[in-house]
Amino acid sequence: MALDPGFRTVLDTLERAGALPLVRDGDAVATRAHYRELAMARRGPGFVPEQVADVADGSVPGGPGGDVPVRTYVPADDTGAIVVYLHGGGWVVGDVDTHDPVCRRVANATGATVVSVDYRLAPEHPHPAALDDAEIVLRNISARAAGRPIGLAGDSAGASVAAGLAVRAIRLGGLRVDAQLLFYPATDPTSSHPSIRTNGSGYFLTDADMAYFWEQYLPGGAGAQDPEIALLEADVRGIAPAVVATAEFDPLRDEGRAYVAHLERAGATVHHVDGPGLIHGYAAFLGVVDAADAAATTALAQFRALLG
């Protein structure tokens, strides 16, 4: 299928504005500022955030790096479920502000209270810092959920953290995860799948961006064999049911599809939402590109069903 016309317009606009590539001169601070500017600009003039019942900033104590900042969204129609959300950004950029619109949509679409985690970023805090912060938040929620369904969700690098935490939950025990929602996760630190090359330029995220992000998160390849990172090698027997969304023109498309197959071979319940015509990061363009809205709506409905 051809690239969706809405995303052709988006990409052409970004190219003309000099907004690509995402990574700025190999500098994490500059790249963070650039990514934040892009995220805010996407909302456009007169942007009104999707309304939820309540939004509150707070923190969860006990993290290895100190208290973990979180932002909690209570949906308009609360079903009682709780979702821990991990933002994308190559483990290097992004925060609860850049992903505020997505978390509002997840809350209202699933009826779940969403706890968005402002985990520590690389290169200052490489693996396993993000996973450790996410675990502390999940452990806190598990201790007080009182039978409420608990889900993990994330996009891109955040989806990888969510998937890694679901793997960790099997190994450690005592951490309840009832469902996962993974938007275009990175599952292969070797970047050996064909789509890294075929979709590696011209579609927002590039192969060079991914190489930079992996090096910041796993400096010198340290931790690349960890099954919480090398997800295609992880023992996922008994893992929580998952929705995995991929995008046709994403460098990470093939490793996302490979993770679906890996889960299926292990007997896990998994729903694959393919994204024909879409690019990496499409969940950040809700309300901008109709096809992105349609794919995200399907993924969120399936996730809601898994949460019960």
pLDDT tens digits, 225-259: 999 999 999 999 999 999 999 999 999 999 999 99
Encode pLDDT of 160-216 as tens digits: 999 999 999 999 988 999 999 999 999 999 999 999 999 999 999 999 999 999 999
pLDDT value, residue 235: 98
pLDDT value, residue 47: 83
Give the catalytic positions in this structure. Answer: 156, 250, 280
pLDDT value, residue 46: 77
Of residues 6, 101, 94, 110, the one with CA closest to residue 48: 101
pLDDT value, residue 287: 85
Class of domain 5-45+57-307: alpha beta
pLDDT value, residue 45: 73
Element (H, E) at 142: helix 129-144
Strands 270-273 and 242-245: parallel
Backbone angles phi, psi at 59, to 5 degrees: -155, 160
pLDDT value, residue 42: 76
How many CA atoms lie less than 13 Å away from 81 in the CB half-sphere? 28
* SS3 of the chain: helix, strand, coil, percent, to 5: 40, 15, 45
pLDDT value, residue 94: 98
71 forms bridges with which residues in the sheet? Answer: 57, 116
Give the start-to-end residue ranges of the domains of the chain: 5-45+57-307
Copy the structure tokens of residue 279: 């690019």
Contacts of 26 by beta carbon, 8 Å cutoff, 6+ apart: 212
Distance, CA of 301 to CA of 307 (rounded, Å): 10
The order of strands in the sheet holding 82-86 is 54-60, 68-74, 113-117, 82-86, 150-155, 179-183, 242-245, 270-273
Copy the structure tokens of residue 274: 């393919």
Distance, CA of 123 to CA of 90 (rounded, Å): 11
Distance, CA of 81 to CA of 110 (rounded, Å): 8
Q: Which residues of the chain have pLDDT under 70?
A: 44
Using a cut of 0.95, tell me whether the model's pTM lies above it: yes
Backbone angles phi, psi at 23, to 5 degrees: -75, 130
Of residues 91, 153, 162, the one with CA closest to residue 122: 91
DSSP reduced 3-state for 242: strand
